[in-house]
Amino acid sequence: MTPPRPRRRRPAPRRRRIVVALGGNAIQRSHDHGTWTEAVRRMREAAAALATIATPDVELVVTHGNGPQVGALLREAELGAREVPAPPLHVLGAETEGQIGYLIAQELGSALERTGRVVVPVVSRTAVSARDPAFHHPTKPVGRFYPAAEAERLRRTLGWTLAEDRSRGGWRRLVPSPRPLRWLEGEAIAAMLDLGAGSRVVFVVAGGGGIPVVRRAARWEGVDAVIDKDLGAALVAAAIGAETLAIVTDVPAAAVGFGSSGARWLGATSPVELGRLLRHGEFPPGSMGPKVEAGLAFLRSGGRRFVITDFPSLAEGVAGRAGTRVGFPS
């Protein structure tokens, strides 16, 4: 009688782990009013594109921006402050992770239902350094525009930093945008993915780059700052050992000479070339700059591939055939 063959534990199938970072336009376009109905419509389109890349060989993790949403909550808090105490900015950040996580769960959840995957949003915190120089130099505009006199009053009474935006004819509050150092929930999510959760679950994490927290007296404390969602996405991708970081925005690629008549889309490229163009000012801070920086940071931390593209090109982008991309076989 032949001895029973030792049962081999079948190794979990190797899947490509992809982090997709959704830009604000996945939820709200510039001419939208910010209604829930619009947000659902936008997200439904985004979800259809995301569903095309959620093939059985792919583990998908989603992160997203929150600029317009946090701006709306700030305004709401400001108007309601006489009756309801205004929450600090970090709490509003947590609220946006809830509302956008819910939106993605509804729409992407429905789009993925037949694949047996469940969308699980995770309220996420991101550690920053209390000594980050950004706390002395706020740079990130948030909320609405104020007339000059009102801006002056807010500076005096609340100690806000405000900057004038001449093109929009008003003053806007600036808040610090410190460098994200560690995504606190990252280890737990990475462990679940390593146990195979990615075949059944799409985690939605670190919305708005995560809620900024600092370590003080052996505790975590929320701080009034915002984290760049692209840099947050790079941190997420590194924390879970993703193969690919895909940054989805409203242009099909990064361009050289953007906005000029000689502009050209950048396709397959290299970190050296991107670094050079970044230093030459081709990718401005606050829009394309952080996306390129995030891609480069991800590669430095051991990531293999990244791509910047839009929803219509997403499937081609993660296949290495569209978008501004590094690390795909040519």
143 an active-site residue?
Answer: no
Instruction: Give least dist CB 8 to ligand ADP, A.
Output: 46
Examine the residue annotation and report whether 140 is marked as an active-site residue of this protein: yes
Residue among 162 and 255 whose Cβ is closer to ligand ADP: 255
- Sign for the pseudo-dihedral over CA of 184, 190, 195, 200: positive
| Cα 152 to Cα 305: distance, rounded to the nearest angstrom | 47
Does 323 participate in catalysis according to the annotation? no
Does residue 298 bind ligand ADP (CB under 6 A)? no
Q: Which of residues 226-255 bind ligand ADP (CB under 6 A)?
A: 249-251, 254-255
Q: In sequence order, what E strands does 90-243 have?
A: 118-121, 125-127, 140-146, 161-165, 170-175, 182-183, 201-204, 211-216, 219-222
Query: Three-class SS of residue 172?
Result: strand
End-to-end, the C-alpha distance of the chain in Å comes to: 53
Residue 200 beta carbon to ligand ADP: minimum distance, rounded to whole angstroms = 29
Q: Which residues, in sequence order, are CB contacts of 240 under 8 Å at separation 6+?
A: 17, 19, 61, 186, 189, 190, 193
Positions 6 through 45 that interact with ligand ADP (CB under 6 A): 23-25
Whether residue 282 contacts residue 293, with contact meaning beta carbons closer than 8 Å, is answered with: no
Window 54-93: contact mask with ligand ADP (x via CB under 6 A)? -----------x----------------------------
Among 146, 171, 283, 311, which residue interacts with ligand ADP (rule: CB under 6 A)?
Answer: 283
Strands of the 140-146 sheet, one edge to the other? 140-146, 170-175, 161-165
Site membership for ligand ADP, residue 282 (CB under 6 A): yes
24 is catalytic: yes
Separation of alpha carbons 141 and 270, rounded Å: 31
* Distance of closest approach, residue 63 Cβ to ligand ADP, in angstroms: 11
Residue 287 in the binding site for ligand ADP (CB under 6 A) = yes
Residue 66 annotated as catalytic: no
Q: Which residues bind ligand ADP (CB under 6 A)?
A: 23-25, 65, 249-251, 254-255, 258, 282-284, 287-288
